[in-house]
Amino acid sequence: MTTSGTTAFNLDLNNLIEEAFERAGAELRTGYEMRTARRSMNLLTIEWANRGINLWTIEQGQIPLVTGQAIYPIPSNTIDLMDHVVRQNNGVQSTQIDINISRISESTYSTIPNKLTQGRPIQMWFNRQSGQTNATAVTLADNILAGDTTIPLSDASGLANSGFIKIGNEVIGYPNTSGNSLINCYRGQNGTTAAGHSSGVAVSVQNLPSINIWPTPDAGGGPYTFVYWRLRRVQDAGSNGTVEPDIPFRFLPCLVAGLAFYVAQKIPEGQARLQFLKQEYEEQWLMASTTDRETAPARFVPRTMFYA
Rg (C-alpha) for the chain, rounded Å, is 25
Q: State which H helix or E strand residue 59 sits in.
A: strand 58-64
Per-residue pLDDT for 307 more than 60?
A: no
Amino acid at 152: P
Q: What is the pLDDT of residues 77-122, one digit of tens each?
A: 999 999 999 999 888 889 899 999 999 999 999 999 999 899 999 9
More confident position, 23 or 305: 23
Query: Average pLDDT of the chain?
Result: 93
At 219 the pLDDT is 75
Q: What is the pLDDT of residues 126-155, one digit of tens each?
A: 999 999 999 999 999 999 999 999 999 999
Look at residue 300 in the predicted model and tell me its pLDDT. Answer: 80
Do residues 95 and 212 lie in contact, with contact meaning Cβ atoms separated by under 8 Å? no
Q: Where do the H-state alpha helices sit in the chain?
A: 13-23, 31-51, 106-110, 252-264, 274-291
Residue 221 has pLDDT above 70, yes or no: no
Rounded distance between C-alpha atoms, residue 68 and residue 7, angstroms: 52
Read off φ and ψ for residue 210, nearest 5 degrees: -150, 160
What is the DSSP code string of 233-296? Answer: PPPP--S-TTPPPSS-GGGHHHHHHHHHHHHHTTSGGGGGGHHHHHHHHHHHHHHHHHHSS---
Report, in this order, helix, strand and coil percent for the chain, each rounded to 5.
Answer: 30, 25, 45
The total number of residues written for the chain in this structure: 308
pLDDT digits (tens, 9 = 90+) for 235-284: 999 888 888 999 999 999 999 999 999 999 999 999 999 999 999 999 99
Give 154-176 pLDDT, tens digit per residue: 999 999 989 999 999 999 999 98
The pLDDT, as a whole number, for residue 19 is 96
Q: What is the mean pLDDT of residues 50-61?
A: 94
**pLDDT for 289-306, tens place per residue?**
999 988 888 788 776 665
Distance CA 131, CA 280 (A): 34
Question: Cis link prior to 215 (omega < 30° from 0)?
Answer: yes
Q: What is the C-alpha separation between 240 and 16, in angstroms, rounded?
A: 13
Among the listed residues 204, 182, 177, 175, the one whose alpha carbon sits nearest the alpha carbon of residue 192: 204
Name the residue among 153, 208, 158 with its Cα closest to residue 181: 153
The confidence score (pLDDT) of residue 91 equals 85
Can you give the pLDDT at residue 142? 96
173-210 pLDDT, tens per residue?
999 899 999 999 999 999 999 999 999 999 999 999 99
